[in-house]
Amino acid sequence: MNRKYLVAGLLSLVLVFSAGCGQKPAAAPNDPVTTTPEQVKDLEKVDKEVTPPVDKGDQTTPAKTGGTQAGQAENNNTETQEKKASIKLYYTDPDLMEVKDASKEISYTDEVNKYEKAFEGLQQSGDDQLVPLWDDSIKLTSVKFEEGALTLDIVKPDEANLGSGGELFAIEALRNTYFQFDEVKSIELLVEGKKIESLMGHVMLEHPMTR
């Protein structure tokens, strides 16, 4: 009897073992998982939506400032653009008898340049009947203008000297030329930076000359 139960138990064990061996083994956890292309696209889409974009700094193209630059260029052109004015210049006749005036148009960039051009005009008339009293060998080295006071500094060689009548006319021509500008209240004439008693040795020179 005991043997019968023992045999029955063994048969039961054999059946259980056979049933266990007949089951399909589960996939090992390390087995690779096959993913379809459609699943890959879905995963990439989800990754883009979830992952925040990397901050690469402000890559916005700066706005062009062409308008401002054009305005500045226009202002610069306006500042350096030459102006024109008709002024009177003073000379003498070929016999050195009197002072004569003549109108001339000059071009200049600013007030100081206007005074420079006026001095150049005194040195050349372009007319045989109008003789300059300021020889072109006289060099204007500097011009300053401040609060109505005009200062002219010149270099004058001896050959530019005139007689007493010519010297008087030369000073008169200078005064008349520059005092036609309303803003000029006085004229200081220097020779090589110095105040001299007489321009050519005959007439006392005022420091400064006033209206």
Band (pLDDT 50/70/90 cuts) for residue 83 is very high
Is a pLDDT exceeding 90 seen at residue 59?
Answer: no
Is a pLDDT exceeding 90 seen at residue 189?
Answer: yes
Domain presence at residue 105: yes
pTM above 0.85, yes or no: no
Is a pLDDT exceeding 70 seen at residue 56?
Answer: no
Domain presence at residue 73: no
Domain presence at residue 46: no
The three-state secondary structure class of 181 is coil
What average pLDDT does the chain have? Answer: 80
Q: Write the DSSP assignment of 12-24 as a string of letters.
A: HHHHHHHHHHHSP
User: Taking the C-alpha atoms of 43, 44, 45 and 50 in order, what is their torsion angle to the nearest 10 degrees?
Assistant: 90
Domain presence at residue 176: yes
Is a pLDDT exceeding 90 seen at residue 144?
Answer: yes
Cβ(132)–Cβ(122) below 8 Å: yes
Domain that holds residue 136: 88-210
Domain presence at residue 188: yes
- pLDDT value for 62: 47
Please measure the distance between the N-terminal and C-terminal CA atoms of the chain and give it in whole angstroms. Answer: 159
Domain presence at residue 1: no
Domain presence at residue 19: no
Please, what sign has the CA dihedral across residues 171, 173, 176, 179? Answer: negative
User: Taking the C-alpha atoms of 202, 207, 208 and 209 in order, what is their torsion angle to the nearest 10 degrees?
Assistant: -20
- What is the tens place of the pLDDT at every residue in 87-103? 999 999 999 999 999 99
Cβ(172)–Cβ(99) below 8 Å: yes
Q: At what angle do helices 164-178 and 111-122 cross, to 10 degrees?
A: 150
One-letter amino acid for residue 161 of the chain: N
Domain count, the chain: 1
- pLDDT value for 149: 98
Q: Which of 48, 46, 49 is nearest to 38 (CA)?
A: 46
Distance of alpha carbon 119 from alpha carbon 165, whole angstroms: 20
Domain presence at residue 129: yes
The percent of residues in the chain predicted with pLDDT above 90, rounded, is: 62
